[in-house]
């Protein structure tokens, strides 16, 4: 019974993890443990009251639906607060809240949602497993680190080499080379991976150092809880005694004034003491909305490193590396196909690979181009629909104030040729069209013209920061 229950929990967790993503999983699901099942009710426990509230409002319905798929007898989920864990031996420390026993229980009725929905194939766990487990650090405010997110598993290419180098430097150097290090880029491009890698490295090289990694969301909730419990002195002390503070997804505190204020003070206190700070966000400091000017300008003081959208080569490299980690052989043409088609971000790319591998293992057949297309047809359609060349042409023309017809025209004046090159470049980056196809859409130009445009824009981006910013802005607008 015990064993069955925990294996059910594992699959439920696996499914939900695939749905909500790694960061949310680490913050909310991982610290939970399953305690018992009685009268159709599964009882889960979490270490703090706050987590209880959060899990109940955000995940309870989904948990009960998923659980019903595993075990039709389950009717509802009950989340209680209990600071010690019974059934699931934690490989990392338990969050150390006040060690009150069961504080309260919130009951959640099982959602009667259409449980018929077929569960997604759970992603297979990668074979590699070093470093062994998350090391305890400080007083337990740090979120657990994902063992897969290390530097050696990060595939480096043009779009991320700068961010990678900066991250490595921060994790190796004894002095504080730049403060803060601010990593930014779109979703699923590796920000969290790099941050965990920094933390792993510092903990390995300097075990005595207090390295704290947490999401801005968690920072905020800890702060709010401290306010509620009138315990802000303690909160401040915890954060101000760290050696390295890493806060992920800082955009989350935009508009949350009191949290920003506290963050600002913490930030200043740490910087003044020469402690390293590493932050991530989905936008550059200057483009973060709802963040106070003085905070922005402090964020801009260190090193700001952008992770660009992936290129085909990088996607291919990542796929190859993930396939190796999974210990499976995938034909080159399948990997190439995926790298061409799934251009949105690395998380989706990885998810696609996991799905075809899981499918192949399930049906016991080899992965071919056909099965890949079959298994992923929903995803492939979604990726295709994302941006059209026409949209790109329209946006770029608007942006540079030229006529759309100039995208097709033979005019070679710089004022129209450059925007046209930018549009070709973006078409290559954002769509899965081939060079000849792109050429055709630009007034029947040759594929070598497109290739030249892509190279030219790449070159300009390197030497002209404001041009690079322009192109990135366009890219983001089109992606968003």
The site for Mg ion (CB under 5 A) is made up of 191-192
User: Does residue 192 bind ligand ADP (CB under 6 A)?
Assistant: yes
CB count within 10 Å of CB 71 equals: 15
* Rounded Cα distance, 386 and 389, in Å: 10
* Rounded Cα distance, 224 and 245, in Å: 19
Closest CB to ligand ADP among 56 and 202?
202
User: Does residue 339 bind ligand ADP (CB under 6 A)?
Assistant: no
Alpha helices in 273-366 (DSSP H): 293-299, 312-326, 332-341, 346-363
Q: CB 167 → Mg ion: shortest distance, Å?
A: 14
User: Does residue 324 bind ligand ADP (CB under 6 A)?
Assistant: no
Q: CB 160 → ligand ADP: shortest distance, Å?
A: 5
Contact 114, 282 (CB under 8 A): no
Side-chain half-sphere exposure of 37, counting CA atoms within 13 A: 20
* Rounded Cα distance, 286 and 299, in Å: 9
Nearest residue to Mg ion, scored by beta-carbon proximity: 192
Which one of residues 33, 160, 210, 372 is an interface residue with ligand ADP (CB under 6 A)?
Answer: 160
User: Does residue 311 bind ligand ADP (CB under 6 A)?
Assistant: no
Closest CB to Mg ion among 97 and 180?
180
User: Does residue 149 bind ligand ADP (CB under 6 A)?
Assistant: yes
Closest CB to Mg ion among 192 and 210?
192
Q: Is 297 helix (H, G, I), strand (E, B) or coil?
A: helix
User: Does residue 217 bind ligand ADP (CB under 6 A)?
Assistant: no
Phi, psi of 363 (to 5 degrees): -95, 0
Strand pairing class (244-248; 211-215): parallel
Nearest residue to ligand ADP, scored by beta-carbon proximity: 190
Closest CB to ligand ADP among 305 and 318?
318
Closest CB to ligand ADP among 242 and 342?
342
* Burial class, 163, CB count within 10 angstroms (exposed 0-12 / middle 13-18 / buried 19+): buried
User: Does residue 188 bind ligand ADP (CB under 6 A)?
Assistant: yes
Q: CB 1 → ligand ADP: shortest distance, Å?
A: 34
User: Does residue 416 bind ligand ADP (CB under 6 A)?
Assistant: no
* Rounded Cα distance, 366 and 381, in Å: 23
Closest CB to Mg ion among 134 and 249?
249
CB count within 10 Å of CB 157 equals: 17
User: Does residue 22 bind ligand ADP (CB under 6 A)?
Assistant: yes
Element spanning 33, H or E = strand 33-38
Task: Please give the radius of gyration of the chain, using alpha carbons only, rounded to the nearest integer.
Answer: 24
* Rounded Cα distance, 161 and 306, in Å: 10
Helices (H) and strands (E) in the chain, counts: 20, 9
Q: Would residue 469 be called left, alpha or beta, if left means φ above 0 and alpha means ψ between -120 and 50 degrees? A: alpha
Q: What sign has the CA pseudo-torsion 196, 202, 205, 206?
A: negative
Q: CB 153 → ligand ADP: shortest distance, Å?
A: 6
The number of angstroms, rounded, from the C-alpha of 25 to the middle of its chain's C-alpha atoms is 11
Alpha helices in 80-209 (DSSP H): 161-172, 191-205
Instruction: List the one residue out of 198, 185, 303 whose CA is nearest residue 250.
Output: 185
* Rounded Cα distance, 264 and 260, in Å: 6
User: Does residue 155 bind ligand ADP (CB under 6 A)?
Assistant: yes
By rule CB under 6 A, what string of x and - marks binding of each residue 348-367 to ligand ADP?
A: --x-----------------
Closest CB to ligand ADP among 153 and 355?
153
Closest CB to Mg ion among 192 and 311?
192
Q: Using the rule CB under 6 A, give the single segment among 152-160, 214-222, 285-293, 439-447 that binds ligand ADP.
A: 152-160
Closest CB to ligand ADP among 56 and 352?
352
Which one of residues 97, 190, 302, 439 is an interface residue with ligand ADP (CB under 6 A)?
Answer: 190
Q: CB 189 → ligand ADP: shortest distance, Å?
A: 5
Q: Using the rule CB under 6 A, give the single segment among 35-43, 207-215, 343-351, 439-447 that binds ligand ADP.
A: 343-351
Q: Which does 318 bind (CB under 5 to 8 A by kind): Mg ion, ligand ADP, none?
A: ligand ADP
User: Does residue 147 bind ligand ADP (CB under 6 A)?
Assistant: no
Closest CB to Mg ion among 21 and 157?
21
Name the strands in the sheet holding 244-248, side by side, starting at the edge strand that comes first in the sequence.
211-215, 244-248, 276-281, 181-185, 303-307
* Rounded Cα distance, 162 and 306, in Å: 8
Size of the site for ligand ADP (CB under 6 A): 18
Q: Using the rule CB under 6 A, give the single segment among 70-78, 92-100, 180-188, 214-222 that binds ligand ADP.
A: 180-188
User: Does residue 235 bind ligand ADP (CB under 6 A)?
Assistant: no
Q: What sign has the CA pseudo-torsion 161, 162, 164, 165?
A: positive
User: Does residue 318 bind ligand ADP (CB under 6 A)?
Assistant: yes
Which one of residues 9, 154, 235, 252 is an interface residue with ligand ADP (CB under 6 A)?
Answer: 154
Binding residues vs ligand ADP (CB under 6 A)? 22, 149, 153-155, 160, 185, 187-193, 318, 346-347, 350
């Amino acid at each position: 019974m015990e064993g069955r229950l925990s294996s059910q929990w594992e699959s439920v967790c696996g499914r939900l993890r695939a749905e909500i993503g790694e960061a949310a999983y680490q913050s909310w699901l991982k610290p939970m443990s399953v305690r018992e099942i009685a009268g159709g009710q599964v009882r889960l426990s979490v270490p703090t009251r706050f987590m209880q509230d959060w899990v109940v409002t955000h995940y309870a319905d989904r948990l009960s639906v998923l659980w019903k798929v595993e075990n039709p007898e389950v009717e509802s989920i009950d989340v209680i607060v209990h600071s010690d864990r019974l059934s699931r031996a934690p490989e990392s420390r338990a969050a150390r809240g006040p060690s009150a026993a069961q504080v309260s229980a919130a009951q959640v009725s099982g959602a009667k949602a259409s449980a018929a929905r077929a569960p997604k194939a759970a992603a297979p766990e990668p074979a590699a497993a070093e470093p062994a487990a998350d090391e305890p650090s400080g007083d337990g405010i740090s979120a657990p680190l994902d063992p897969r997110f290390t530097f050696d598993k990060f595939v480096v290419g043009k779009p991320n080499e700068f961010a990678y180098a900066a991250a490595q430097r921060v994790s190796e150097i004894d002095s504080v080379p730049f403060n803060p290090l601010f990593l930014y880029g779109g979703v699923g491009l590796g920000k969290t991976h790099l941050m965990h890698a920094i933390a792993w490295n510092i903990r390995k090289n300097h075990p005595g150092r207090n390295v704290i990694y947490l999401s801005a969301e968690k920072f905020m909730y800890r702060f709010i809880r401290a306010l509620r419990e009138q315990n802000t002195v303690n909160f401040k002390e915890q954060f101000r005694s760290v050696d390295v503070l890493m806060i992920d997804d800082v955009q989350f505190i935009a508009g949350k004034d009191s949290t920003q204020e506290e963050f600002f003070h913490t930030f200043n206190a740490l910087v003044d003491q020469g402690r390293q700070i590493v932050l991530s966000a989905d936008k550059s400091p200057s483009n973060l909305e709802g963040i106070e000017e003085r905070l922005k300008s402090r964020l801009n003081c260190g090193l700001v490193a952008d992770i660009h959208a992936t290129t085909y080569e990088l996607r291919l490299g990542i796929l190859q590396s993930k396939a190796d980690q999974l210990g499976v052989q995938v034909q080159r043409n399948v990997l190439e196909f995926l790298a061409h088609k799934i251009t949105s971000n690395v998380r989706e790319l990885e998810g696609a690979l996991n799905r075809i591998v899981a499918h192949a293992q399930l049906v016991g057949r080899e992965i071919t181009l056909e099965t890949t297309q079959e298994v992923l047809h929903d995803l492939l359609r979604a990726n295709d629909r994302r941006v059209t060349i026409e949209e790109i042409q329209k946006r770029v023309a608007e942006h540079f104030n030229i006529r759309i017809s100039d995208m097709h025209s033979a005019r070679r004046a710089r004022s129209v040729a450059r925007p046209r090159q930018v549009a070709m470049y973006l078409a290559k980056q954002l769509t899965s069209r081939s060079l000849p196809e792109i050429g055709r859409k630009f007034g029947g130009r040759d594929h070598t013209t497109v290739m030249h445009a892509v190279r030219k824009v790449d070159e300009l981006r390197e030497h002209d920061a404001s041009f690079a910013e322009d192109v990135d802005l366009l890219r983001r607008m089109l992606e968003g």
